[in-house]
A and B are shown apart, each in its own frame.
Chain A
Amino acid sequence: MWGTESILTLVGIALYAAASTLAVAALLRASRRVENSSLLLAAAGAIPFLIVLLFHGMKAGHMRPLTRFEAFSVYSVFLTAAYLFSCVKRNRLRGLAAIVVPYITFVLILGLPVERSEVVLAPKVQNIWLRIHIVSAFIGYASFSLAGLLAVAYLIQDRNLKRRRFGGLTTRLPALETMDRLMSIQVGVAFLMLTVSIVLGVLLVRLTGGGGEWVTDPKVVATVLTWCVFAILVHMRAWANRHGRRVAFVIIMGVLCLLFTFVGVQVISDSVHDYLMVGAGKAP
């Protein structure tokens, strides 16, 4: 049965897929016009996912995301917004769409299929702090992922410049220094947001009188690991003033940790925090 949600999701994915194709074509043909169309399509692609999330939220009576599909959708929408705002609008960065948009499309496909949204949150944790906890976590994920994608572009450009490949891709990717600067901004934002999210997470557990089960929650463990990588990065940049290739490497490592925290855990356990779930969608 094809429900409205499935159709909306497919429309969204189709828009993102078209945007990816155009983004790659824009990079190959060095066309600004094609890249602009790609960005427009990607922005349009986020809308169906927002509508589906709204449906789910209204049905459950509280803020999503809880399921894998929801989490991946929110992540993708935030990442799209972060890219459009930070890279395109504020810094007029070109050429990165061919890396960012296909990545988002891939994540969205990973999030399929749309599960039924019967999973609901235990009422004891439904409050304003939870909302901040979720939003700041996703801003953090999106910013850090963007930093990771910038780091990939940085390493590609570094390699091209070292190997004296002057044509094509080298001319279409942003200057090394631009990417370096943006990476550190994104890492800074992500660090702040993840810290807020973790602190609120701990407070929420305390507030609701939860037991010790959260300590072994895979998500919590992975998040703490990721946070450590962040701390190293922020130290490298803020206190040691490090730039360049090594920073890009550490960021990519951090993003891999984050992907494990976020995607990996999500794929294994099918929910955000297992121990908080009630309802039909709960993983065994």
Chain B
Amino acid sequence: MNLAMLGINFRSAPVEVRERLSFATPQIPALLARFGERIPDLERVLICTCNRTELYVGGAGPLPSEEALIRVLLEGQGEVDAAALAAAIYSKRASAAAEHLLAVAASLDSMVVGETEVLGQVKQAYATASEMGAVGSVLHPVFQTAFRVAKHVHAETSISQGRVSVSSLAVEFTERVFDNLPAKTVMIVGAGETAELALRSLVDRGVRDVIVFNRSPERAQNLAAQYAGKAVPFDLMTDYLARADLVIASTSSPYPLIWAADIKRGMAERRGRPMLLIDLSVPRNIDPLVTEVENVYLYHLDDLQKVAAENLAGRGESVAQAWKLVHEGLRELAASFETGDLRSLFKDFDQSTNEMREEAVRRCLARPALAALPEAGRAEIAEMADKLMRKLLAGPREALKTAARNGRWEEYERVTRDLFRLNRKPGDPT
């Protein structure tokens, strides 16, 4: 398949390098249009998530070099450390590129294996390119196969089961205690990143009553404004404890901010209604003794991370199964391309061997010794050459068909073209 990809991801490059090649969603159509202007007749899809930027190109004609693609990609991106970028970028061609896309869409290449967001992002990238007419006979089947395989992977393996991020686990734990999240009051102490992520997940689940406590009143105001909550002075925190159903603490305080005695007082007013405390700070912000208070449940970052690790390990067992599905999809994809490729190789093959044969027969018959040969004899010679050629090539033809069926097409095609000095297919690597 006449396909190539290049990209950069969380594994190949640190964020400082990655952000040079990061494009916001509204920028992508313009970028794809630029590719269309610089390199005509190029099919192209750009996938850009916070963990990766990948460009997939394909087409009927020769594919541009990696450098040419990077040049277009970097236009207008300002000064870039070329060496660092060159070291971070990976590129793949033909079936290796397709395999990579299939793995990315099935979230096998994700930071959190089994997450489902990446499939949506790949679909979005494909849709954007498709709307611009940037997708054709190469990228269309490749992406469709990727979507189909990803769907199978999520449905048939348990790769995406069990939550694996701390923020989603915080929501899950909340749901084990409370059943009516919109009626609950969430208290955020400190405004760490993880706490905010957890808060966002909770607000997405319908939590409306948010109280924010932070040493810096501005930060508290900002966070409260963002989630339609209320910022309350830090010193009043313990007074508000009785109102909170869920407390998420994440400050850099070196000592606990919430003590068992505070919780006991708060609980007296709550009359046994449960309270869930999630401590996302190191060192701990909530006195571990609060677990001894009745109807109070305390979890620390470590607990959440432990569950996340267990769930992730569970997913790991499904990874092999998922790869099997990817390889199956890849074989089907290759077979569909190879039916087209086989035809074109045989055409070249026939053309080249016919030329050789005709040339040999012509030269042979032009010899003075054969000048007197009657027409029937000339026809015999031509037929003999034809039969010889057919017999000679019957074996290789059969072997090529078998190779195409067994997924060794690319290797055989290269060897055949080398041996028979057939024209190299445009765009193939040398």
Contact = CB atoms under 8 A, between A and B. Distances in A.
B303 A164 contact: yes
Interface of A is mostly: helix
B275 to A, nearest CB: 10
A166 interface: yes
Interface residues of B, number: 20
B299 A164 contact: yes
Given A176-B274, A243-B295, A166 B307 contact: yes
Given A164-B303, A176-B274, A177-B274, A244 B294 contact: yes
* A interface, size bucket: 20 to 34
A240 B271 contact: yes
A58 to B, nearest CB: 45
B310 interface: yes
B176 interface: yes
Contacts of A247: 272
Contacts of A175: 175-179
Interface in A5-55: none
Interface in A240-273: 240-247
A245 B294 contact: yes
A135 to B, nearest CB: 31
A73 interface: no
Nearest to B276: A161
B38 interface: no
A237 to B, nearest CB: 10
A174 B273 contact: no
A178 B173 CA distance: 14
A150 to B, nearest CB: 13
Nearest to B297: A161
B422 to A, nearest CB: 58
B295 A157 contact: no
A176 B177 contact: yes
Contacts of B274: 176-177, 180, 243-244
A159 B215 CA distance: 35
A168 to B, nearest CB: 11
B180 interface: yes
Nearest to A248: B272
B177 A161 contact: yes
Contacts of B201: none
Interface in B191-210: none
B222 interface: no
Given A245-B294, A245-B295, A246-B294, A176 B176 contact: yes
Interface in B296-339: 297, 299, 303, 307, 310
Interface in B60-106: none
A166 B297 CA distance: 12
Contact of B310 (A158, A167, A176, A180): A167
B291 interface: yes
A246 B272 contact: yes
Interface string B151-180: 000000000000000000000010111111
Contacts of A174: 179
A162 interface: yes
A245 B176 contact: no
Nearest to B291: A162
Contacts of A241: 271
A59 interface: no
A178 B176 contact: no
Contacts of B177: 161, 175-177
B176 A244 contact: no
Interface of B: 173, 175-180, 270-274, 291, 294-295, 297, 299, 303, 307, 310
Interface of A: 157-158, 161-162, 164, 166-167, 170-171, 174-178, 180-181, 240-247
